[in-house]
Structure 1
Amino acid sequence: MSTDSTDPTITFDAVTKRFGAHVVLDELSFTVDPGEFVTLIGPSGSGKTTILRLLMTLEKVDGGTISIDGEYLSHMERGGKLVPADEKHLSRVRRRIGMVFQQFNLFPNMSVLRNITEAPTRVLGLSKGEAEARAVDLLDMVGLSDKASAHPTQLSGGQQQRVAIARALAMRPDVLLLDEVTSALDPELVAGVLSVLKEIASTTDITMLCVTHEMQFARDVSDRVMMFDSGRVIEDAVPEKLFTSPEHDRTKEFLSAVLNRA
């Protein structure tokens, strides 16, 4: 990991993203420092998930640049000029980023162990033994040591999401992206997943960027919370400040609506 770098781990510099005539991100600039846990909150359609999709290179920027540890993700230098990144460059930088989605996206025909070892062996070139040792450690971390030989269909939704977290961590990412990772779960299963994420946040130096509607989790775990509205950051503060004395009226309205609904 490059956590001794003076560069922020994630840098968005005047990033614009459009879908047709609709501007989703409007010259968005922000940074996330090494090891920080930053949570993005805001109404649906405010651009939060688009940020994660851009970092995963599932979408392309229409303007501005994205960097990881000072290295461009969205662009590369060629002949002294900045040009859109090609697939080889994207693939190399993307390896440093892991993502856990709303839906678990596990391979149903593979065991839990193989779900976790598949990418490290194929992408990182780890031996089967190395990958399995890593997977066993991660299954222990997420409380599923006894499920290595099970298949995803034999697991609850919460267990599947914990496997998905272990699978992302198996790639040893510098950055872990979390996209509403509890939204597809029954309420009684949410606590187990959130407790695993708290453990990761407190025991590793992975930089984490999280989109969530779980306000208590955001308050408990985040180093910073950023409030989005219409593709812009309208408030960026430590959780205690943002949740107890927000400055922006839109933040107050959003929190009042979300917390009253909870």
Structure 2
Amino acid sequence: MVRFAGVIKRFGVQTVLDGLDLRVARGEKVTLIGPSGSGKTTILRLLMTLERVTEGTIHVNGKPFSHMPAGAGGSLVPADEKYLAGPRRRIGMVFQQFNLFPHMKVLENVMEAPVHVLGLNREEAAERARELLDLVGLYDKRGAHPTRLSGGQQQRVAIARALAMRPDVLLLDEVTSALDPELVAGVLDVLRDIARTTDITMLCVTHEMGFARDVSDRVLMFDHGRVLEAGPPEQLFEAPAHARTRAFLGSVR
């Protein structure tokens, strides 16, 4: 579903991703762990087209993503905004901050993108939104404004909003980091249910190691823009091969 081939990302003289080769299978749940500044969130930002690769290519669903075909020879050139508009719709992201529209009710927040981006009629979008709010346990809050919700409830609305676009890939960037500790469990439970009951491909950046262990098919340890090691969660958490991984896990447990 997702393939990074030799991806390098630089910000000025700083190399944030250093020749990343990564494949994520359709339906696979992959969690990225590692210290701050190791390049994890940059991977998600590249897939959201909030950043562009410096070198290398990204493919999504078997098609060029960071680049687009140029002419009949099969060569690729950096993708322009018009090209990106199509594949970008197939990727959903839940950010650290909720970014809900405060002037819209909860139901309208979830409906907005399917109506204006996918072209769904309002009836169909409303039905989809109600189903997703039920999924995240907030059907009874559909008529409320976001300011009337707790932080955990707002984040669950943000998850429903991302799923409303029926993405092929769901990106999760430290989705509990802005929440009070007592609200974290509810959001993580919703994501566990989604991971367990859907075939959506998930790429997750988190410092919640218990959550990573529960939902992941594979965990990748990053440091200085490179993957130090990768494996099933039981292997990486119980018997990490790399000293840096052992030190990092010791600091976050």
Give, in angstroms, the shift of residue 89 of structure 1: 1.1
**Which of structure 1's runs of 4+ aligned residues deviate more than 6 A?**
none
Three-state SS of the structure 2 residue aligned to 1:197 is: helix
1:41 aligned residue: 33
- 1:23 positional shift: 0.2
Deviation at 1:165, TM superposition (A): 0.1
Matched residues in 2 for 1:161 and 1:184: separation? Answer: 9
Aligned partner (choices 149, 174, 184) of residue 168 of structure 2: 174
3-state DSSP class of the match of 2:113?
helix
The match for 1:13 is: 5
Aligned with 1:131 (options 103, 125, 130): 125
| Gap runs ≥5 in structure 2 | none
Aligned-partner Cα distance in 1 for 2:139–2:32: 32
1:164 paired to 2:158: yes
- How far apart, CA to CA, are the structure 1 residues paired with 2:143 and 2:113? 17
Map of 1:151 onto structure 2: 145
Deviations along 1:121-147, whole A, 9 cap, x unmatched? 011111100000000000000000110
> Hey, what does 1:95 align to over in structure 2?
89
Which amino acid in 2 is paired with 1:163?
V
Name the structure 2 match of 1:215.
209
Aligned match of 1:140: 134
**Alignment correspondent of 2:46:** 54
Note the residue ranges of structure 1 that are not aligned, 5 or more in a row.
Answer: 1-8
The AA in structure 1 aligned to 2:180 is D
How far did 1:236 drift? 0.5
The separation in 1 between residues aligned to 2:127 and 2:43, in whole angstroms, is 33
Partner of 1:73: 65
**What residue number does 1:85 align with?**
79
Deviation per residue, 1:170-201 (Å, 9 max, x gap): 00000000000000000000000000000100
Inter-partner Cα distance in structure 1 for 2:192 and 2:214? 8
Alpha-carbon separation, structure 1, partners of 2:251 and 2:170: 28
> What is the Cα deviation at residue 59 of structure 1?
0.2
Deviations 1:42-65 (A, max 9, x none): 000000000000000000000000
Cα deviation for residue 41 of structure 1 reads 0.1
RMSD between superposed Cα atoms in Å:
0.5
